[in-house]
Amino acid sequence: MTSDTSIQTAGVSRRAVLLGSTTLAATIALSLSRPASAQAATPPHIVYIVSDDQGWKDVGFHGSDIKTPNIDGLAAAGAELMQFYAQPMCSQTRAAMLTGRYPLRTGFQTTVIPSGGLYGVPMDEYLLPQAMKDAGYETALVGKWHIGHAKTEFWPRQRGFDYFYGAMVGEIDHFKHEAHGEGDWYRNNDRIEEEGYDTTLFGNEAVKRIEGHDASKPLYLYLAFTAPHTPYQAPDEALAKYPEIADTSRRTYAAMITAMDDQIGRVLEALDKKGMRENTLIVFHSDNGGTRSAKFTGESKVTGELPPNNGPYRDGKGTLYEGGTRVVALANWPGKIKPGKVDGMIHVVDMYPTLVSLAGGALDKAKPLDGLDVWATISEGKVSPRTEVVYNVQPWAAAVRQGDWKLVWQTMIPGKLELFNIADDPAEATNLTEANPVEVQKLQSRITELAAEAAPNLFLKDAFRLVVSETPSTPEGYFEVSD
């Protein structure tokens, strides 16, 4: 197989025949120093939007009755990413996106950082905003962090963001901005108190960042909403849009998504007014699948049928099935992204090298990446370079997909192996293990290989600290599964 690098080098050689050997060497060196993806003539502004626990189907363009006209418009004029994978839970996905590495590499393979957790993404990881700053970008995070809050060194301003406004932990009251009765609302490194619905406040702040930005400098704005994560809360004006929905939880859930969509519309309007829209790449996706089991709702006590809908995909948040990991996603950049459905595999780790390459940045400060540059797939619908997805690998459960084959391996007694052909059976209804022992063995070997490479599990290590402490005390909410 011919590598991308050899193709580039061959192309350079043909062009340089008449230029002499010195020019040839210099040209080759320059070519090999650039990222694989073609750098944009003018680096784009990037607005990277993440929703929280949103079901795959819970947008208008996937057939939902939930009103999302602004998100729908972005999808219609951009690329709908049909096989975009995140991690099963929040902290895992955010760590994967910001490092370009699977959570098993960073110790984030188990659950999320609880409110009492003392760990964060390791400080020797070079995060995406740091790489974007190196490329000349102004960087800002508006919204949810949740990859380290116990020490200031883990906070956004210390990890590459020029500006931060929002919440540090997993689940907050959307009006009070607190968790376990403690305020969790920050501007940069300062805790502040503000009134208002968090989704609206995030929209306000994102608009301010755009309005005050010097458009001659590229902007990387990470807009991480807390909607529609529990607790299900929405302002009256948003609830009033759904008088036909009788179920209280679903009515509020729908209102939360529409309230978020309204703020995305305000961001688009601000970009237009600033003259930035035509050179802005917008990415949107959920951090994991919608919640289908009450044990993954976090600290909120939700009863009855949970409202998120993952469409044809099995189960939801916290699981290794498609419903927990294949998320609603799109990318939009006027004139640069071909509108339509993109059906190649893309994982959230791919966004690190893809965005840094578009920015004209370098990847040399990052640890070895699991992410691949998928810009040609996103922008032109070309075949994805990704042939494998690692859903997660932890001691009691793991899943890997290679090509169309996916193995889900539950090792806890009594244990279970499930093999699916995702192309034929995206709903994961038929277990094919008995008929395909070779595929099972191949994928089990891959999981075992990955497990041997895994970093120490930070959640278990931190929990063990509490168990062996001379004066053990479990902070309230430590073992809550909240993200």
Q: What is the dihedral of CA 275, 279, 282, 283, to 10 degrees?
A: -160
Catalytic residue among 45, 62, 146, 177: 146
Report strand pairing: 178-179 vs 79-85.
unpaired
Q: What whole-number distance in Å separates Cα of residue 181 and Cα of residue 1?
A: 58
- Measured CA to CA in angstroms, residue 213 lies from 276, 410, 411, 415 at distances of 10, 49, 51, 54
Annotation says 149 is catalytic: no
CB neighbour list of residue 348: distance below 8 Å, 6 or more residues apart: 84, 85, 86, 87, 93, 96, 97, 285
Active site residue 213: no
Alpha-carbon span 107 to 459, nearest angstrom: 8
Name, in order, each residue with C-beta under 8 angstroms of 368's C-beta and a sequence gap of 6 or more: 101
What residues does 346 pair with on adjacent strands? 84
- 129: exposed, middle or buried (Cβ count in 10 Å: 0-12, 13-18, 19+): buried
Edge-to-edge strand order for the sheet containing 340-347? 190-191, 186-187, 163-167, 138-144, 219-224, 45-51, 280-286, 329-332, 79-85, 340-347
**Run of H or E including 16:** helix 4-16
Dist. CA 474–CA 117, nearest whole Å: 10
CA dist 227 and 432 (Å) reads 37
Task: Check if the beta carbon of residue 92 is closer than 8 Å to that of residue 108.
Answer: yes
Question: CA geometry: angle at 156 spanning 316 and 181, to 5°?
Answer: 65
* CB 386 within 8 Å of CB 162: no
Q: Which residue has the tokens 């909120």?
A: 300
Rounded to the nearest 5 degrees, what angle is found at the Cα of 288, between the Cα atoms of 282 and 293? 150
For 386-483, strand residue ranges (E) read: 388-394, 397-402, 405-410, 416-421
**Which residue among the candidates 90, 177, 213, 285 is catalytic per the annotation?**
90
Calpha distance 202→226 (Å, rounded) = 9
Could you tell me the two tokens for 108? 């984030």
Active site residues: 90, 146
